[in-house]
Amino acid sequence: MENLIFEERADQIHRKGEKPYQMSCDRDSLAGAVSQRACVFCGSRVVLYPIADAVHLVHGPIGCAAYTWDIRGALSSGPELHRLSFSTDLQEKDVIFGGEEKLHRALTELIDRHQPRAAFVYSTCIVGLIGDDLKSVCRKVSEEKSIPVIPVESEGFKGNKRAGYNAACRAMFQLMGTGATDSISPLSINILGDFNLAGEIWIIRDYFQKMGIEVVANITGDGRVADLQRAHGAALNVVQCSGATIDLARMMQESFGTPFIRVSYFGVEDMAEALYSVARFFEDRDPRIMERARDLVREELSTLYPKLQEYRKALQGKKAAIYVGGAFKAFSLIKAFRLIGMRVVLVGSQTGTEEDYQELHDITDEGTIIVDDSNPLELSSFLKEKDVDVFVGGVKERPIAYKLGVGFCDHNHERKEPLEGFVGMLHFAHEIYTSVMSPVWRFVPRKSSHSGGELSSKAMGGCTRLAGLSA
Ligand code: SF4
């Protein structure tokens, strides 16, 4: 294997079985290592922007605002204000004389033109440097226009993406506790940490509604300001993904006493367990709720399992690599790959915690590489070493896979197919199958440490199609 690992990063990589488990994580990225992590501003933007009836104004140079709905396609069932990108487009003159006046003008114009239910104003690096007083401008416009105008303290240099999640949670928390809650059912939840990519939150809401549960607020996919304002009236917060919205769940527990549970909607086991955990929580209030959850799972699995078996036959023994933002998603993906007969040989995350990596170590097979806050060189070298058939990641991992002639599955915010829920598992199996078995690999030699860049026999073998499944 080529040695592409920086000495200072050696303790953030573990090969299961080679030595006793120990890993470092949750620290600043190493200078020069070109981390896959996004900046603080990007972290806050990804959490907040699916709130579809709010104006999202990026206070900074136009370049920061390039991070738009087109990259992160959260769907809305109603208003679509979140699809528009607004920026104060700070120029040299604004940097010298300050951008507060421009921000005030931009906010006033946007609110008059779009009549939003609230406005979020994101602070970028340069705003942190020149010291514009976002809070006072937001307060002033809020009084003038009588809507919440909320500053998001997301200067890019303040930490990593995780700090951006926290800034987003603090911004949303300012809305909570301000709406009426009288009509909310005792069997009610908020869905936290789902961004409604390809309509996924609609699948999950439908499951909960079939169990007789009211969903008060989507936080944040297909989100609405008024729902956030009454979210404190829900009986339970159901939190997906370890990083993005867990801070909000903790704030709500502390201030409103709302308990939370952590779930994942990816893969059969975790999806079913998510429904059962919610049912267990409400069993005292509704003794028949568990029965309804079981009926729902049974019905979904009766159609899903026979179809999955076909994919399993075709994919048996193939190898997968996973690199995701929050490690929580990786747990579900490992189980989902097992269900379709595949082995995970590399797994990593941008922002995993000590507990996350311990759990990854517990559930992975011997020889699996576990990595924290990786970079393109490391990932390429691991993919080549393990000669993987498919790489699961996000927008920044896609080119790494394609350059190596490896199949890719987007499990991040660019995806167009819902991968959550029982139906999502079927889509996932189909996508993995079509990527691994695609005839394109006949013409694109997979680069691996074993093949030396030549067309590997495995890549050729991957072209065999299974009757009845279309690639
Ligand atoms: S690091 Fe700073 S300048 Fe770069 S996108 Fe993030 S906020 Fe903008």
Residue 38: the pLDDT is 81
For residue 253, tell me if it sits in a domain. Answer: yes
Q: Using 50, 70 and 90 to split pLDDT, how confident is the model at 452?
A: low
* Final residue belonging to a domain, choices 173, 199, 215: 173
Q: Using 50, 70 and 90 to split pLDDT, how confident is the model at 291?
A: very high
Query: Does 311 share its domain with 254?
Result: no
Average pLDDT over residues 174-184: 96
CA distances from 260 to 150, 234, 246, 383 (A): 25, 11, 9, 37
Residue 164: the pLDDT is 93
Residue 35: the pLDDT is 84
Ligand 1 atom at shortest distance from the alpha carbon of 125: 2
Residue of the nearest CA to atom 3 in ligand 1? 125
pLDDT of residue 307 exceeding 50, the answer is yes
Q: Which residues pair with 150 in a beta bridge?
A: 120
Query: Does 318 share its domain with 445?
Result: yes
Pocket test residue of 41, 44, 58, 155 for ligand 1, highest count of atoms within 8 A of CB: 41
Query: Does 313 share its domain with 454?
Result: yes
* Other CB atoms within 10 Å distance of the CB of residue 75: 21
Enter the pTM of the model. Answer: 0.89
Q: Which residue has the higher pLDDT, 4 or 27?
A: 27
Query: Does 154 share its domain with 292?
Result: no
pLDDT of residue 466 exceeding 60, the answer is no
Pocket test residue of 124, 129, 154, 158 for ligand 1, highest count of atoms within 8 A of CB: 124
pLDDT tens, position by position, 118-168: 999 999 999 999 999 999 999 999 999 999 999 999 999 988 888 999 999
* Final residue belonging to a domain, choices 272, 300, 328: 300
Query: Does 311 share its domain with 291?
Result: no
CATH number for the domain spanning 204: value is 3.40.50.1980
Pocket test residue of 29, 85, 122, 125 for ligand 1, highest count of atoms within 8 A of CB: 125
For residue 17, tell me if it sits in a domain. Answer: no
- When divided into structural domains, the chain yields a total of 3
For residue 469, tell me if it sits in a domain. Answer: no
Q: Which of 393, 426, 423, 425 is nearest to 407 (CA)?
A: 393
Q: Which residue has the higher pLDDT, 466 or 243?
A: 243
pLDDT of residue 467 exceeding 90, the answer is no
| In the chain, % of residues over pLDDT 90 | 79
Ligand 1 — pocket residues by CB below 6 A? 39, 41, 60, 64, 124-125, 156
pLDDT of residue 57 exceeding 70, the answer is yes
Average pLDDT over residues 298-318: 96
pLDDT of residue 462 exceeding 70, the answer is no
Query: Does 97 share its domain with 231?
Result: no
C-alpha 290 to ligand 1 mean position (Å): 47
C-alpha 413 to ligand 1 mean position (Å): 19
Distance CA 114, CA 151 (A): 19
C-alpha 209 to ligand 1 mean position (Å): 40
For residue 467, tell me if it sits in a domain. Answer: no
Residue 326: the pLDDT is 79
Residue of the nearest CA to atom 8 in ligand 1? 64
Distance CA 147, CA 451 (A): 61
Range among 60-74, 418-432, 433-447 with highest mean pLDDT value: 418-432
Q: Using 50, 70 and 90 to split pLDDT, how confident is the model at 456?
A: very low
Ligand 1 atom at shortest distance from the alpha carbon of 40: 6
Query: Does 123 share its domain with 258?
Result: no
Residue 242: the pLDDT is 61
Query: Does 194 share its domain with 253?
Result: yes
Residue of the nearest CA to atom 6 in ligand 1? 156
* Final residue belonging to a domain, choices 271, 300, 329: 300
Query: Does 284 share its domain with 328?
Result: no
Q: Which of 321, 337, 369, 331 is nearest to 352 (CA)?
A: 331
Average pLDDT over residues 70-96: 92
Query: Does 97 share its domain with 133?
Result: yes
Pocket test residue of 28, 34, 35, 64 for ligand 1, highest count of atoms within 8 A of CB: 64
pLDDT tens, position by position, 240-262: 976 789 999 999 999 999 999 99
Q: Which residue has the higher pLDDT, 469 or 244?
A: 244
Residue 461: the pLDDT is 40
Ligand 1 atom at shortest distance from the alpha carbon of 155: 7
Residue 2: the pLDDT is 55
Query: Is residue 20 a contact partner of residue 368, using CB atoms and an 8 Å limit?
Result: no
C-alpha 64 to ligand 1 mean position (Å): 5
Average pLDDT over residues 28-56: 90
Q: Which residue has the higher pLDDT, 1 or 251?
A: 251
Query: Does 55 share its domain with 161?
Result: yes
pLDDT of residue 464 exceeding 60, the answer is no
Distance CA 362, CA 295 (A): 31
Query: Does 266 share its domain with 362?
Result: no
Per mean pLDDT, which range of 163-167, 274-278, 343-347, 412-416 is the poorest?
412-416
Average pLDDT over residues 198-208: 97
pLDDT of residue 228 exceeding 80, the answer is yes
Give the range of the structural domain holding residue 97, as residue numbers without chain letter.
40-173
| In the chain, % of residues over pLDDT 70 | 94
For residue 457, tell me if it sits in a domain. Answer: yes
